[in-house]
Amino acid sequence: MKAASSSTANQLSFSETSRGRADKDPAETREEAHMDSGNGKDGETALHAAGFHGHWEITKTLLDNGADVTVTDTHGDFPLHLAIQQGHSHVAELAIDRFPTATDVRGPFEHYETIRSRLTDPSFLSNDEAVSPPNATRKSDSTLTPLDMANSDGVTVLFAAADRDLPSVGKCLLERGADPNIIDDRAMTAVHLAAKAGRADLIKELIAKGAVTNQVAQWIQHIPLHNACYRGHADVIELLIGTISGLTSEDCWERTPLAAACAGGQLQTVKALAGRYDNVQRAKGLMEAAENGYCKVVNYLLDLGCPVNESGTDGKSALLSAVSGGHPRMVELLILRGADTGHKNSSGDCAILLSTNNGLYETTKILVDTGAQLDIEGDDGASPLGWAIYFEHPVLVRLLLEGGARMRLPTRWNHYSSLLDFSWGLSTLPVTEVLLHYYIQGKHEDGLTPAEALITAIRRVSSELLKLVLDTWFASDTVKHTSAGKALHYAASTGAFAFLKQLLEHPAGKAAINQLEPGDGTPLHAAISAGADGEIVNLLLEMGANADIASGRYGTILNAACVAAKLETIKICLKILRRDLVLSVNGKYGTPIQSAVVGFQGKPPEKCIEVLEFLEESGVTPLAVGGQFFTALHAAAYLEAHGDVVAWLTNRSSRSLLVIDTAGRLPLHLAIMGESWSWVEDIWENTK
């Protein structure tokens, strides 16, 4: 029978080892193939497979037949790495016994060196060889002790053992000469890993072999004691404390070992350490315990005399830490133990500002019930109520208002007109509904009135808010229709047709349709004075506006239309006004003719003349007197009207040039006072 090929024999050796078979003659296998060839997908040898699967007998057979224990796979793992990773201590101990005894080739590591930096240093390799190639390679010729070599992740076999519950393996490695002070890429030692895993027995062995116990890891800045304190490994802590002179080393979170124990809620560890620290350091631990919700630790430290209101460099106290951590029971405990609810951190935030900012209902309720200042403002001008509104927490808004918070704008948001304006601009409908509920009860320190609430809705272009205000605030009998009247004036004067219609369809708005406002008259006057189009004017008339009311600065709606220079509206007014009102003299400019001269100032003269002729045809005389300028010609002279307009007026009656106003002035006087010399010349010629 023909002998198997070398590659076939390699596969047989690896495959049968993986299945745990030791019945094949090792000598025969060795004749057919190199025992240390890598046949696995990652370059594992038969010894790797035996170590991974925990086959002690096969491992021994392979080693007895010359298998190299220092061969690595493509990840840089020895078979020993794999045995340790899988927890096969009996196989690992067998492999360790076959490793070359470690000797100190170079001396202790410098503090900045790592396993990887030493492994890749060519001076550690014989014949100036570089780092091992990807395929399995023997390391027996390397002058770097194999036991101290790391895989591609920077893990030595001692590190692997320290990270697992394999105390006998770690002890064997140290007895074989593994370096206890090698550091990995993070500047961590085996002591760090053993402390983290709670391996007191291994740490004892490491210390006996001269391991450094105060090495500071990079980035997280832990010493081994930190690792043990976070996890409460009391036996490890007892071993390490005796080897460290100072216990104030801080990690990247500025935690001492005591603070680390407090952050992890390790009460027994805290009890073991607290006596070694002063109250300043205990207070740091108190804040850590408070932030993480460990009430027993907090009570213990306070019972030792730790000051409850001590704060750190950022001004943060235990109470603020508890609020930030979201622990209401801790907040209650600290307040009962004397914590100051008004204490502010360096950012100007106190407990209730933090709780409302983060939407913490239960915590906020405890603070409200225990007398926290509800209207306090932070350095940024925000208040608890402001944060509750801003972050859309209606239940918090209700809680604060029920607790006595004032309904006023905080400084941070005082560019809004009211809390209602603020909430609708930055919050949600449920928040606004809560605010309206309290507005109705008379809480409005921000000065908001029902009328302003309606106007806010119109400004916000929100029919939803307008309906909400009408259906809630105006459902009360205590709110008079005059409040709706102010909103009608605003909607009419701003041309907000849809909102004007919505107001008029509500009983409160309909009742206020003819409400008079000083200077404005009725909503109809307000709309016409603002130059509203016919759609709005007709809406008001259809809904019951009284066109015959003479009020406001312009008197009649016709005068208002003339000042607004709206021919369309002028025509509407002439159709609906009583004859006596058309011819009446009232308002600021007295007559429609005088009002038109004022309204068309600066506009094309032909437009003005068109309106003047239309008014004249409707029976309005250009010669009527009254109002601010007394006659239309006086108005034209004062306002420096276009010559065509002046000519139209003088053509109606040259005698108007000689009319004296209430101050005894001719139109010519007004022209001279205004230094309108071309005007003076024209009037003078017409006067002669």
pLDDT, one tens digit per residue, over 473-498 is 998 777 777 889 999 999 999 999 99
Asked if the structure places residue 386 within a domain, the reply is no
Q: What letter represents residue 555's amino acid?
A: G
Asked if the structure places residue 141 within a domain, the reply is yes
Three-state DSSP state, 30: helix
- How would residue 301 be classed by pLDDT, with cut points 50, 70 and 90? very high
Q: Report residue 275 as tokens.
A: 């006596």
Q: Which of 91-100, 164-173, 364-373 has the highest mean pLDDT?
A: 364-373
Q: How many CB atoms lie within 10 A of CB 6?
A: 12
Q: What is the structure's pLDDT at 106?
A: 40
CA separation (Å) from 365 to 321, 331, 374, 395, 682? 17, 11, 11, 10, 82
Q: What is the structure's pLDDT at 134?
A: 34
Total length of the chain: 688
Please give the model's pTM, rounded to 2 decimal places.
0.77
Q: What is the structure's pLDDT at 674?
A: 72
Q: What is the mean pLDDT of residues 361-374?
A: 98
Give the CA-trace dihedral at 532, 536, 537, 538, to 10 degrees.
Answer: 150
Q: Which residues pair with 170 in a beta bridge?
A: none
Q: What is the structure's pLDDT at 101?
A: 81
* Res. 210: pLDDT tops 80: yes
Q: What is the structure's pLDDT at 658?
A: 81
Q: What is the mean pLDDT of residues 192-198?
A: 94
Q: What is the structure's pLDDT at 165?
A: 82
Q: Which domain holds residue 35?
A: 1-185
Asked if the structure places residue 248 within a domain, the reply is no
Average pLDDT over all residues of the chain: 87
Percent of the chain scored above 90 by pLDDT?
70
Q: Which helix (H) or strand (E) holds 238?
A: helix 234-241
* Res. 24: pLDDT tops 90: no
Domains contained in the chain, number = 1
Q: What is the mean pLDDT of residues 567-581?
A: 94
The answer to whether the beta carbons of residues 423 and 432 sit under 8 Å apart is yes
* Res. 389: pLDDT tops 90: yes
pLDDT tens readout for residues 126-137: 333 333 333 332
Q: Please indicate whether residue 109 or residue 565 has the higher confidence score (pLDDT).
A: 565
pLDDT tens readout for residues 214-254: 999 988 999 999 999 999 999 999 999 989 877 999 999 99
Nearest to 490 by CA among 529, 444, 464: 529
Asked if the structure places residue 14 within a domain, the reply is yes
* φ, ψ of residue 517 in degrees (nearest 5): -120, 135
Residue 140 DSSP label: T
Asked if the structure places residue 310 within a domain, the reply is no
Q: Which DSSP string corresponds to 638-682?
A: HTT--HHHHHHHHHH-GGGGG---TTS--HHHHHHHTT-HHHHHH
Q: What is the structure's pLDDT at 385?
A: 98
d(CA 402, CA 299): 32
Nearest to 352 by CA among 332, 340, 367: 367
Q: What is the mean pLDDT of residues 119-129?
A: 41
Out of 34-38, 42-46, 440-444, least confident range: 34-38
d(CA 1, CA 4): 9
Asked if the structure places residue 94 within a domain, the reply is yes
For 361, counting Cβ atoms within 10 Å of its Cβ (0-12 exposed, 13-18 middle, 19+ buried), the class is middle
Q: Report residue 400 as tokens.
A: 């604060």
d(CA 517, CA 521): 5
Who contacts 301 (Cβ-Cβ below 8 Å, separation ≥6)? 262, 270, 274, 282, 285, 286, 289
- How would residue 265 be classed by pLDDT, with cut points 50, 70 and 90? very high
Q: What is the structure's pLDDT at 39?
A: 63
The answer to whether the beta carbons of residues 246 and 217 sit under 8 Å apart is no
Q: Please indicate whether residue 241 or residue 34 has the higher confidence score (pLDDT).
A: 241
- How would residue 3 be classed by pLDDT, with cut points 50, 70 and 90? very low
User: SS in 3 state form for 390-418?
Assistant: HCCCHHHHHHHHHCCCCCCCCHHHCCCCC
Q: Report residue 299 as tokens.
A: 């009570």
Asked if the structure places residue 79 within a domain, the reply is yes
Q: Which DSSP string corresponds to 149-200?
A: ---TTS--HHHHHHTTT-HHHHHHHHHHT--TT---TTS--HHHHHHHHT-H
- How would residue 276 be classed by pLDDT, with cut points 50, 70 and 90? very high
pLDDT tens readout for residues 136-158: 323 333 445 888 899 998 899 99
* Res. 567: pLDDT tops 50: yes
Q: What is the mean pLDDT of residues 655-674?
A: 81
Asked if the structure places residue 142 within a domain, the reply is yes
Q: Write the CATH number for 9.
A: 1.25.40.20
